[in-house]
């Protein structure tokens, strides 16, 4: 038996044949054992570059666990948190429970998987990515409580470990992308996102030094804090989501023939907005805040145009619920940018800035990731557990693992909770804050429950432990 | 002598795009099925998009299903990008399933 692959250039042979025995061996046909980035040679089949299932899944499971803890703490602390400033340790810890322990962890797993699919290349080092998970998990488990207690030695030790883990992750992705032959705006977005992530880590360190009253840094605490938030929320998560949307949305809607020029413009617009806002934070020039806010709004409008043109050229006329909510989350991102601009005009206080940031992180970043997770996780599990045919009959499809319609309660419940939470915080209405926080917590638990069901914890644990 | 219609029917029944839930024949992914030599089956196929994450699994499923047909001794599956797949290649049944 023989499977041959031809590249887009006529006659470009990127793979060869294989014997039946190899076909049955699972990894033999995946180019296993090849140096990273090297295409299969004659006699081998150049096929998937995907890492083994246990690699992305371990990060995703940590992310899901972190998300559940975030939901529970949010619900438990809702009353108190609504009154506290963003720099209060409890708020700092809760924010990083969301960003580091859940969103970044899930994103790491997803990026390790999507990078290989989108850029047709193996990871620079799957082993380093596996080992780095333990470093990341331990550092997060120590860092969040250290933040909550504002225990400086703990912040130093676990902060250092977390920084190393994040930098190793960014380096693995960076080296992988440097080797790929797939170019284009998506590569720009993903590369830039990881550069911004490393810069956000540097800014975090400077904040800790500033908070400790180290020399001149103490004066720059607020600009450093703004830089850290902008680089992490805008520079990393936003760039990553916008970059991968260019791959995921056409794939899930079967879009063909839409204009290709928009993502490149989007990238440069997004860089302009990000650095204008960072410059504004350092100079306090209002004109720069205005320009940065306006540029951020244009970024989301341009992104919306890009999404709209993909949807107009889709072949799947029925849009699945997770894709619907990913599109709605993009609108929430646009609303966040508009709110930022309004905040510049109204010169609102720190409480409003806190609400803007919270809405942006939950309404745009978290909601989009949840939406895509409903598509990515079942695909991942299907590929590794159900793609090999062993008998006749109707094959298992991805939708059989988790029907897309079942995502509705969690996704829309989450959105409703975020809106309620944000609006009630702004109006200083405690019952509304509590209801919103409870709705978010319930949605997060439902979301995690459904995805863990697809992952099948027992099977995953066996596969995972057999590898480590 | 391989019954090529039987191969096509087998692919229609057994090999589905896992994401879309439509078989590869109605989706228009199978360009050509031929028997250049006795017992040797040659299938030219494509994917809906280059970089489709289901590349491996679809091609392997086609290979597996085709090998089940009587008289097939060897299967060669060639994944090509020229001509690129277009929605016009889908059958009416597939279009209806996608909401057209």
Q: Which domains does chain B have, with CATH numbers?
A: 4-91 (3.30.300.130)
CB contact under 8 A, B54 and A383: yes
Between B31 and B98, whose confidence is greater? B31
Q: Rounded to an integer, what distance in angstroms lies between the CA atom of residue A210 and that of residue A213?
A: 5
Q: Which of A14-18, A67-71, A149-153, A451-455 has the lowest mean pLDDT?
A: A14-18
**Mean pLDDT in chain B?**
89
CB contact under 8 A, A387 and B18: yes
Q: Which of A152-156, A293-297, A325-329, A334-338 has the lowest mean pLDDT?
A: A152-156
Confidence grade of residue A287 (pLDDT, cut at 50, 70, 90) = very high
Q: Is residue A243 over pLDDT 70?
A: yes
Between A298 and A342, whose confidence is greater? A298
What residues are paired with B16 via a beta bridge? B23
Nearest chain B CA: its distance from A352 CA (Å):
42
- pLDDT at position B7 is 95
* Domain range list for chain A: 1-33, 34-39+53-271+282-383+399-467
Q: Which of A21-35, A454-468, B12-26 has the lowest mean pLDDT?
A: A21-35
CB contact under 8 A, B18 and A398: yes
- pLDDT at position A467 is 67
Closest by Cβ to B75, choosing from A1, A10, A48: A1
Q: Rounded to an integer, what distance in angstroms lies between the CA atom of residue A422 and that of residue A416?
A: 10
Confidence grade of residue A468 (pLDDT, cut at 50, 70, 90) = low
Give the alpha-carbon dihedral of A397, B21, B48, B4, to 10 degrees: 100
Q: Which of A92-101, A179-188, A439-448 has the lowest mean pLDDT?
A: A179-188
Q: Is residue A330 over pLDDT 60?
A: yes
Q: What is the mean pLDDT of residues A244-257?
A: 89
Nearest chain B CA: its distance from A18 CA (Å):
10
Q: What is the mean pLDDT of residues A324-333?
A: 97
The pLDDT tens digits of the residues spanning A18-43 come to 333 333 333 333 333 333 333 333 33
Confidence grade of residue A85 (pLDDT, cut at 50, 70, 90) = low
Helix (H, G, I), strand (E, B) or coil at A2: strand
DSSP state letter for B80: -
- pLDDT at position A136 is 98
Buried b (16+ CB within 10 A) or exposed e, A238-258: bbbbbbbbbbbbbbbbbbbeb
Confidence grade of residue A353 (pLDDT, cut at 50, 70, 90) = confident
Percent of chain A, pLDDT > 90?
60
Taking the Cβ of residue A117 and every Cβ of chain B, the question of whether any pair is shorter than 8 Å is answered with yes
Q: CB–CB of A238/A367 below 8 Å?
A: no
The pLDDT tens digits of the residues spanning B38-94 come to 999 999 999 887 767 777 788 889 999 999 999 999 999 999 988 988 888 999 989
DSSP state letter for A430: H
Q: What is the mean pLDDT of residues A407-424?
A: 96
- pLDDT at position A62 is 96
Q: Rounded to an integer, what distance in angstroms lies between the CA atom of residue A393 and that of residue A341?
A: 57
Domain A34-39+53-271+282-383+399-467 homologous superfamily, CATH:
Cytochrome c oxidase-like, subunit I domain (1.20.210.10)
- pLDDT at position A390 is 66
Confidence grade of residue A239 (pLDDT, cut at 50, 70, 90) = very high
Between A206 and A42, whose confidence is greater? A206
Between A181 and A374, whose confidence is greater? A374
Percent of chain A, pLDDT > 70?
86
Q: CB–CB of A275/A330 below 8 Å?
A: no
Q: Rounded to an integer, what distance in angstroms lies between the CA atom of residue A42 and that of residue A56?
A: 30
CB contact under 8 A, B53 and A383: yes
Q: Which of A17-26, A61-70, A138-147, A319-328 has the lowest mean pLDDT?
A: A17-26
Confidence grade of residue B33 (pLDDT, cut at 50, 70, 90) = very high
CB contact under 8 A, B55 and A48: yes
Q: What is the mean pLDDT of residues A162-183?
A: 94
- pLDDT at position A307 is 95
CB contact under 8 A, A397 and B51: no
Q: CB–CB of A110/A57 below 8 Å?
A: no
Q: Is residue A5 over pLDDT 70?
A: no
Nearest chain A CA: its distance from B80 CA (Å):
5
Q: Is residue A53 over pLDDT 80?
A: yes
Q: What is the mean pLDDT of residues A191-207?
A: 96
**Mean pLDDT in chain A?**
86
Taking the Cβ of residue B70 and every Cβ of chain A, the question of whether any pair is shorter than 8 Å is answered with no
The pLDDT tens digits of the residues spanning A332-349 come to 999 999 999 988 887 777
Q: What is the mean pLDDT of residues A448-453?
A: 96
- pLDDT at position A101 is 97
- pLDDT at position A4 is 52
Between A374 and B54, whose confidence is greater? A374
> Nearest to residue B79, comparing CAs of A139, A330, A174, A16?
A16
Taking the Cβ of residue B39 and every Cβ of chain A, the question of whether any pair is shorter than 8 Å is answered with no
Q: CB–CB of A46/A31 below 8 Å?
A: yes
Q: Is residue A13 over pLDDT 60?
A: no
- pLDDT at position A48 is 63
Closest by Cβ to B87, choosing from A4, A23, A256: A256
Q: How far apart are the first and last CA of chain A?
A: 34
- pLDDT at position A25 is 33
- pLDDT at position A235 is 97
- pLDDT at position A84 is 63
Between A85 and A343, whose confidence is greater? A343
- pLDDT at position A81 is 65
Taking the Cβ of residue B32 and every Cβ of chain A, the question of whether any pair is shorter than 8 Å is answered with no
> Does ipTM top 0.85?
no
CB contact under 8 A, B87 and A254: yes
Considering Cα of A149, then A140, then A241, then A65, what sign does the dihedral take?
negative
Q: Is residue A430 over pLDDT 90?
A: no
- pLDDT at position B72 is 93
Nearest chain B CA: its distance from A247 CA (Å):
9
Q: Rounded to an integer, what distance in angstroms lies between the CA atom of residue A204 and that of residue A206?
A: 5
């Amino acid at each position: 038996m023989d499977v041959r692959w031809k590249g887009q250039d006529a006659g470009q042979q990127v793979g060869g044949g294989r014997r039946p025995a190899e076909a049955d061996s699972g990894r033999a046909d995946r180019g296993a054992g090849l140096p990273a980035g090297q295409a299969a040679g004659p006699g081998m089949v150049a096929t998937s570059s995907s890492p083994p299932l246990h690699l992305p899944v371990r990060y995703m499971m940590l992310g899901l666990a972190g998300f559940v803890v975030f939901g529970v703490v949010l619900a438990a602390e809702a009353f108190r948190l609504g009154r506290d400033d963003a720099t209060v340790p409890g708020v700092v810890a809760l924010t990083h429970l969301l960003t580091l322990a859940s969103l970044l962890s899930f994103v790491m797993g997803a990026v390790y998987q999507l990078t290989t699919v989108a850029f047709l290349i193996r990871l620079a080092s799957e082993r380093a990515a596996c080992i780095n998970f333990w470093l990341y998990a331990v550092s997060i488990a120590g860092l969040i409580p250290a933040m909550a207690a504002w225990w400086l030695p703990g912040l130093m030790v676990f902060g250092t470990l977390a920084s190393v883990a994040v930098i190793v992750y960014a380096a693995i992705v960076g080296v992988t992308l440097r080797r790929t032959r797939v170019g284009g705006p998506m590569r720009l977005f993903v590369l830039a996102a990881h550069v911004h992530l490393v810069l956000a880590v540097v800014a975090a360190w400077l904040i800790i030094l500033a908070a400790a009253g180290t020399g001149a840094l103490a004066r720059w605490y607020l600009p450093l804090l703004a830089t850290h938030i902008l680089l992490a929320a805008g520079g990393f998560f936003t760039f990553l989501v916008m970059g991968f949307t260019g791959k995921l949305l056409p794939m899930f809607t079967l879009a063909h023939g839409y204009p290709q020029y928009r993502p490149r413009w989007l990238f440069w617009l997004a860089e302009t907005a990000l650095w204008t806002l960072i410059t504004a934070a350092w100079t306090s020039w209002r004109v720069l805040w205005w320009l940065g806010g306006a540029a951020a709004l244009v970024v989301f409008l341009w992104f919306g145009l890009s999404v709209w043109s993909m949807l107009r050229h889709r072949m799947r006329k029925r849009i699945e619920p997770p894709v619907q909510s990913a599109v709605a989350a993009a609108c929430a991102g646009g609303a966040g940018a508009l709110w930022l601009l309004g905040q510049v005009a109204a010169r609102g206080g720190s409480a409003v800035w806190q609400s803007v940031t919270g809405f942006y992180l939950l309404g745009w970043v978290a909601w989009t990731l949840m939406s895509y997770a409903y598509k990515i996780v079942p695909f991942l599990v299907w590929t590794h557990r159900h793609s090999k045919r062993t008998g006749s009959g109707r094959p298992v499809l991805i939708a059989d693992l988790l029907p897309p319609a079942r995502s509705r309660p969690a996704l829309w419940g989450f959105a409703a909770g975020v809106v309620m939470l944000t609006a009630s915080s702004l109006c200083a209405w405690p019952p509304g804050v509590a209801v919103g926080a409870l709705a978010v917590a319930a949605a997060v638990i439902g979301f995690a429950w459904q995805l863990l069901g697809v992952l099948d914890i027992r099977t995953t644990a066996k596969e995972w432990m057999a590898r480590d | 002598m391989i019954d090529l219609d039987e191969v096509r029917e087998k692919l229609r029944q057994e090999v589905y795009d896992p994401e879309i839930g439509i078989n590869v024949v109605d989706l228009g992914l199978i360009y050509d099925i031929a028997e250049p030599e006795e017992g040797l089956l040659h299938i030219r196929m494509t994917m809906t998009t280059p970089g489709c994450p289901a590349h491996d699994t679809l091609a392997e499923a086609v290979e597996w299903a085709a090998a089940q047909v009587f008289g097939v001794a060897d299967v060669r599956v060639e994944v090509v990008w020229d001509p690129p797949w277009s929605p016009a290649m889908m059958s009416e049944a597939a279009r209806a399933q996608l909401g057209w």
